[in-house]
Structures are given as C-alpha cells and as structure tokens.
Amino acid sequence: MSFAYVVVTVLTIAVNAWAAIADFARAGFVLANSAALGVPHSWIPMLGALKAAGAAGLSLGLLGVPLVGVAAAAGLVLFFTGAVVAHVRIRVYGPIAVPAGYLGLAVACLVLGVA
C-alpha cells in the first residue's frame, strides 16, 4: 500500500462522508442542486447512502480488505460519472466541478488500488 494511495483514499473517504452527511441533513445546496438537475428530493437519502457505502468500502480497503476498497472505488467512479453526465445532459455547468472533482478522486483511488 503506497503513501499516495493512503493519502488519496483518506481524502476521498472524507469528502464522500461529508457529502453523505449533507445529503442526509438535506442541506440547502443539496436541495438546490437536485432541483436544478431534476432529481427528485426523495432520491437524496439513497444517493447519500451510496456515497456513505463508498466511503465505508474505501475504509475497509485501507483496513486490509483490498478487494472491497477496489470495488468501492469502482462504484464511486460509476456514481460520479453519472453525476457528471447528469450535469452535462441538463446543461448545468456551474456546480459541475464538484462531482468532477469527486470523480477524479475516485478514479485515483481505483488506479492506485489496482496498481
């Protein structure tokens, strides 16, 4: 396990845990972003649960279950690819940097986890 993998994965865990908490708390920016994208507010808890599951899986990967960490990273790559596609499809480019950044972190976790 490389130092780079640990640093990137800890950062990815932190931002996804924070995003999941914001979803569960129904933070104002979460509600505004979901409304702009046409995502029903009833989906927000499930989206938060997926982010939390990704963070938990990455944590397990760091704790010695590398296949779970790789699977979690792959799941987050798929999740945030969908988020970026949703922004492009609806042409909401202002906040696209956030899911794109999360996607970049998830890709880095996946690449470093497989390496």
pLDDT (tens digit, 9 = 90+) per residue, 26-80? 999 999 999 998 999 999 999 999 999 999 999 999 999 999 999 999 999 999 9
State the pLDDT at residue 115: 85
Q: How far, in Å, CA of 77 to CA of 9, rounded?
A: 13
Residue 3 CA, chain-centre distance (Å), reads 21
C-alpha dist (Å) from residue 56 to 17, 27, 80, 103:
8, 21, 16, 17
Domains in the chain: boundaries:
3-114
CA angle 65, 72, 42 (to 5 degrees): 140
Q: How far, in Å, CA of 99 to CA of 105, rounded?
A: 10
Q: How far, in Å, CA of 50 to CA of 99, rounded?
A: 14
Can you give the pTM of this predicted structure? 0.92
